[in-house]
A = this chain, B = another copy of it.
Amino acid sequence: MEDLLEELLAECRPYTQQGTLANYIPELAKGNIDDLGIYVQRSDGRHYQVGDYKKRFTIQSVVKPILLLLALLDNGEEFVRSRIGVEATGKPFDAINVTDQSLLSEHLNPMVNMGAIAMCSLIKGATYEERFQRLLDLTRTLAGDPNICLDEAVYQSEKRTGNKNRALAFLLKSYGLLQDDVEEVLDCYFKACSISVNSKDLAQVGFVLANRGKLPQTDERIFPSRYAHYVNAILMTCGMYDGSGDFAVRVGVPAKSGVGGGIMAVVPTRMGIGIFSPGLDGKGNSLAGAQVLERLSKRMYLSIF
């Protein structure tokens, strides 16, 4: 398997140049477009890694499935489902035309910004600082990495420039879907997106989702298997932005990408995969990362279909 990963690294490195660094905040534009790292954690306990797998980047939207897990743990499936829908057709911006609160919540989904901001208000904690700490703790637990921490520069930058997210939060509030102070909720959300991780971390989190809630080393159950079904199903239908259908056809496993360049893929019962390559395609997904996953899926028959 080491050979296969080396091969994929060589084959896919050239694609890094075809992508574009996210530039909506200056910090992300500072990335190194050549980077490509791959980490695979298998259910037999083995792990394989190549390239820039140790490099750190911000988790960005890959935090959304972790946020969803915490919301499920804190509130149960029925409550979360009643507040935030699960359809891929629910485009966040279109939803703003909706005048009915229940219709709006049906049009949200946990993988779009508006749904993720709403989820911040569902997780528990006396303060939003405490809520973020609980999210960070869960991320550390799932990744088995107590050193995961906040990228302060990215966080400050997101907070300063995140006016579209502010707009979404105020819309939620105007529909009664957000009770708390908008800036406090957003502060938690901006911090969540700015958690600094590496490919290994994403592979570990993906593995726990593949393993339906149990940690790899200790077999400790972190969440019920039912929640893995819930999260993985949503990743399959909405995890790769507007490229989710294409990814389902080409790769065939649940995955989540972030504009920081990370992709977390979940191969149920078999493996968790973390990829990092900051050059993005037109839909916001890591371009070389998607290439790696497509090839890996075909050569190792990973498609769940």
Residues of A within 8 A of B (CB): 81, 85-91, 93-94, 96-97, 109, 163-164, 166-171, 173-174, 182, 228-230, 232-234, 236-238, 242-246, 248-249, 252, 254, 268, 303-305
* A305 and B242 form a contact (CB under 8 A): no
* B170 and A88 form a contact (CB under 8 A): no
Q: How far is the CA of A233 from the CA of B85 in the complex (A)?
A: 21
Q: How far is the CA of A243 from the CA of B237 in the complex (A)?
A: 12
Q: With A88-B244, A174-B164 as known contacts, state yes or no: A233 contacts B254, CB within 8 Å.
A: no
Chain B residues with Cβ below 8 Å from A167 are 96, 166-171, 174
Chain B residues with Cβ below 8 Å from A93 are 96-97
How many copies make up the complex? 4
Taking a contact as CB atoms closer than 8 A, the residue among B87, B97, B164, B245 that contacts A246 in the complex is B87
* B304 and A268 form a contact (CB under 8 A): yes
* B86 and A88 form a contact (CB under 8 A): no
Q: With A166-B170, A303-B229, A305-B229 as known contacts, state yes or no: A248 contacts B268, CB within 8 Å.
A: no
Sorted nearest first, the 9 A-B pairs with minimum C-beta distance are A232-B305, A163-B174, A167-B170, A233-B248, A87-B245, A88-B88, A86-B245, A164-B174, A166-B170
